[in-house]
A = this chain, B = another copy of it.
Amino acid sequence: MEYGLLAEVKRGGRVESRHSGCAVVVDTEGNVVWSLGDAERFLFPRSTVKAFLALELVASGAADRLGLGNDALALACASHGGEEIHTRLAASMLERVGHTETVLECGAHWPSYEPAARAWAAQGHSVACCLQNTCSGKHAGMVCLACDQGIDPAGYTDPDHEIQRRVTSVLEQVTAAPHRKENRGIDGCSLPTYAIPFRSLALGLARFGTGTGLEPFLAQASSRLRRAVAEHPFMVAGTDRYDTAIMERFGERAFVKMGAEGIMVAALPEEGLGIVVKAEDGAARAAEVFLTALLKRFGKHSLCRTEADELFLEDWMHRTYVNWRGIEVGSIYAVRP
């Protein structure tokens, strides 16, 4: 079977929509502990590898030399909502290396968190700025790395730029998958994204979560980034966002990250597992509920310590939809893995 059912959407007691997809749970040796669909299929990890891309910023010593706090490191791993707290922090990262948003090559878009977009418009702005791009933290981190290393940041999104060569080398070490030109696509923020197998991405997460199988400098950097996102989960996403909600609850016990086109990944450090879910159709809503179901099943020792923990996860596995008058009209729920 190429893929299976992840979630159903109900209205008026009937199934209105269905989401299929692939998912894999892998240990630190890369063994497939559980899978739905083919674990060797390729996917573009998109934003799910942002934490891996930030490892070099820490491992090189640049983060410490520049005095970047854990909030900034969390933002470097983020797909944030463009809220003011995110854009200010991205600007302050660039300030530390003498730059402004004009150095960013992510392009500008209005904050994905709509109230933030409206607030920006209410301030009289008619165009968005690059700092509001959901990837501005990652880009700011790469500019910081370049400047610390005496590399001209201009063109840092080019796959052949020294910064891309370095961070791509880290991706290869963490995932143990070659990142070849023929597997390359371009992401929404103009950075390259390399297609790799589901199993490789999940292995990367298991390693990132534990340090097992990584060179000591990468294991230490992983530990630092895990602490950073656990301390500042709001910086990784924002208001009303899944990643933030899960990490606010569980701290260092779960690392969770979304990626475009319906991807959700997680590391469960205490279980030594990495998890990847992709909705075949690209729907985030399906990936969220199904990842939660996997967190409940495979994180039962580390996440479900109390009944409240279980109820918290149950609540994220089964979301109720209310309409504009607050009337309950339907729901989405994970098919139990």
* A interface residues (Cβ-Cβ under 8 A, vs B): 9, 11-14, 16-20, 42-44, 105-110, 114, 117-122, 124, 126, 133, 183-190, 193, 195, 261-262, 279-283, 286, 323-327, 329-330
User: Which one, B20, B185, B280, B327, contacts A11 given CB within 8 A?
Assistant: B185
Listed from nearest, the 5 A-B pairs whose CB atoms lie closest are: A12-B185, A107-B324, A118-B121, A281-B281, A17-B282
Closest B residue by C-beta to A3: B18
Additional pairs, 19, CB under 8 Å, beyond known A12-B183, A20-B281, A109-B324: A12-B193, A13-B185, A14-B42, A14-B183, A14-B195, A16-B282, A17-B262, A17-B282, A20-B280, A106-B325, A107-B324, A107-B326, A108-B324, A110-B118, A118-B120, A133-B324, A185-B329, A187-B329, A189-B324
Show 13 A/B contacts (Cβ-Cβ < 8 Å), sorted by A. A9-B282, A11-B185, A11-B193, A14-B42, A14-B185, A16-B44, A18-B281, A107-B323, A117-B117, A118-B120, A121-B121, A122-B122, A186-B327
CB contacts (< 8 Å) of A42 on chain B: these are 14
**Copies per assembly:** 2
User: Which one, B114, B195, B326, contacts A117 given CB within 8 A?
Assistant: B114
Cα A327 to Cα B190 in complex, Å, equals 7
Cα A19 to Cα B323 in complex, Å, equals 26
Q: In the complex, how many angstroms separate the beta carbon of A138 from the nearest chain B beta carbon?
A: 14
Q: Is the Cβ of A186 less than 8 Å from the Cβ of B329?
A: yes
Q: Is the Cβ of B121 less than 8 Å from the Cβ of A44?
A: no
User: Which one, B118, B120, B283, B323, contacts A190 given CB within 8 A?
Assistant: B323
If A118-B110, A283-B282 touch, whether A16 touches B261 (CB-CB below 8 Å) is yes
Q: Is the Cβ of B283 less than 8 Å from the Cβ of A324?
A: no
CB contacts (< 8 Å) of A188 on chain B: these are 323-324, 329
Q: In the complex, how many angstroms separate the beta carbon of A61 from the nearest chain B beta carbon?
A: 31
Closest B residue by C-beta to A283: B281
Cα A107 to Cα B326 in complex, Å, equals 9
CB contacts (< 8 Å) of A9 on chain B: these are 261, 282
CB contacts (< 8 Å) of A325 on chain B: these are 105-107, 190
